[in-house]
A and B are shown apart, each in its own frame.
Chain A
Amino acid sequence: MKIKIGDRSNALKDHGRIMREHFGIRTTGEQYVIALAGNPNVGKSTVFNALTGLHQHTGNWPGKTVDNAQGTYSYRNKSFLLIDLPGTYSLLAHSVEEEIARDFICFGQPDATIVVLDATSLERNLNLALQVMEISSNVIICVNLIDEARKKKLSINFNELQKELGVPVVPTAARNGEGLQELQDAVYTMAVEKKKAWPKQVPYSEEVEQAICALLPKIEELDLARVVNPKWLALRLLDSDVSFIETISRYAATQKQKTVELQHQWGELTL
C-alpha cells in the first residue's frame, strides 16, 4: 500500500486556489493571478483594457467600476489573469464594492497586486498604495496619467520614488500605451521570477507606535499571528470597525481549516 507523501509547496498552491475560489476566480493551469487596485478615476480600467484587450468602457466618473472584471493576457509565454477591482480610496472603507476590493487584496492571495496611481495627485493616491504595501510585499506601483502630469508641468522623480518605497514603480500613460511593456515586465519579474520587494513601512507617530507595542504581546499569542502579519493586525485593531475584525477572523479561520483539510488530503508524513 502506497503512502502519499505530502508536498508542502503543492498544498500551499492548492490553498491559494481555494482562497481565490471564494472570490469566484478560476484559474486555468499555470495562470498567475494579478490584482489591479487603485483610487476611482485614475485610469485603472484603461490599464486593464490596454493589457487585456477586452473592450470595456472606461468612464471618467468616480465609482463607476462596480463589477470585478477579469481578463487575461500573455507575456513571455506565461498566462496572467488580471482582476480589475472596484476603485477604493482606502482599504478601510465600508461600501460593499470597497469591501470586495479590500477582502481580495487581503485574503485572495494574488501573485502580485498592481496599485494604479494618478500622477497628478500622488499625495492622495499614495494612501492606498501604502496600505496595500502593509499587507503584501508583492506590490507594483503603476503611476498612470503621466501625460496629464506633463500637461500640468509636473515632473516626477520615479527612481527616487522607487528607492523610497522599496517596490517597483512603473510610470505609464495607458491611454497612449506608454509604459505598458515595462509594467508587464515588472509583473513578470515579481509573479513568475518571484523577485522579492521590500516595501517601505509607514513611519507612524509615537502615539501609534506605543499603542501597537501594547497590543503586540496579546496578538502574538493567537494562532492568527502565524497567518497574518501581527503588526498589520495591531493597526487594524486600532482603526477598523467590528465587522472588518470579524471578517479577518473568518478568513483566517477558513485558511486554517483548509490547511488542516489539505494536510489530511495529502497525508503529510514527517520523516
Chain B
Amino acid sequence: MRSPVPLSTLKPGEKSNVVHLDVKGLLRRRILDLGIVPGTILTCIGKAPAGDPIAYLVRDTVIALRSEDASLIYISQS
C-alpha cells in the first residue's frame, strides 16, 4: 500500500479515506468529534477565494479547515 498523503493535497471534487491523524491537542478532539476518524471518507468541496480554508464533505456535513491543519490529517492515495 502506498504511503498516506496529507488531506491538503486533495483537490476539489476528489475523495479519499482517512488513514491516521497527526493533529494534536484541542484540534484533535474537535476533528474526532466531527466524525473525522480513521476510515472516514472525505470529499473536497472547494477552496475559499484566497485558496484557504478548504471545505470538506464529512458524513453529510460540510466542515472547513485551514490547509495547515488539513495537512496533519493523512489520507490514502486514490
Which of A90, A93, A120, A127 meets B60, CB within 8 Å?
Answer: A120
B35 in contact (CB, < 8 A): yes
Main secondary structure of the interface of B (DSSP, over half): mixed
**In the complex, what distance in Å separates the CA atom of A120 from the CA atom of B61?**
9
Whether A121 sits at the interface, judged by CB under 8 Å, is yes
Chain B interface residue count, CB cutoff 8 Å, equals 10
Residues of A within 8 A of B30 (CB): 89, 93
**Residues on A with beta carbons closer than 8 Å to the beta carbon of B61:** 121, 124
- List residues of chain B with CB within 8 A of the CB of A93: 29-30, 33
B26 CB contact (under 8 Å) in A94, A120, A127: A94
Report A50-102 residues with CB < 8 Å from chain B CB: 89-90, 92-94
Q: In the complex the two chains form, what is the Cα distance from A93 to B30 in whole Å?
A: 7
**B60 and A123 within 8 A (CB):** yes
Residues of B within 8 A of A90 (CB): 29, 33
Residues 30-49 of B, flagged 1 when their CB comes within 8 A of A and 0 if not, give: 10011100000000000000
**Candidate in B29, B33, B34, B61 with the most chain A CB atoms within 10 angstroms:** B33
Contacts A123-B35, A124-B34 given; indicate if A92 touches B29 (C-beta within 8 A): yes
Bound together, the chains give a CA A71 to CA B30 distance in angstroms of 30
Q: How far is the CA of A120 from the CA of B59 in the complex (A)?
A: 10
Bound-complex Cα distance A127 to B30 (A):
13
Query: Could you tell me the distance in whole angstroms from the C-beta of B65 to the nearest C-beta in chain A?
Result: 14
Q: Give the docked Cα–Cα distance between A122 and B29 (Å).
A: 20
A127 to B60, CA, bound (A): 14
- Binary contact track A219-250/B, C-beta < 8 Å → 1, others 0: 00000000000000000000000000000000
**7 nearest A-B residue pairs (beta carbon):** A90-B33, A121-B60, A89-B33, A123-B59, A124-B59, A124-B35, A121-B61
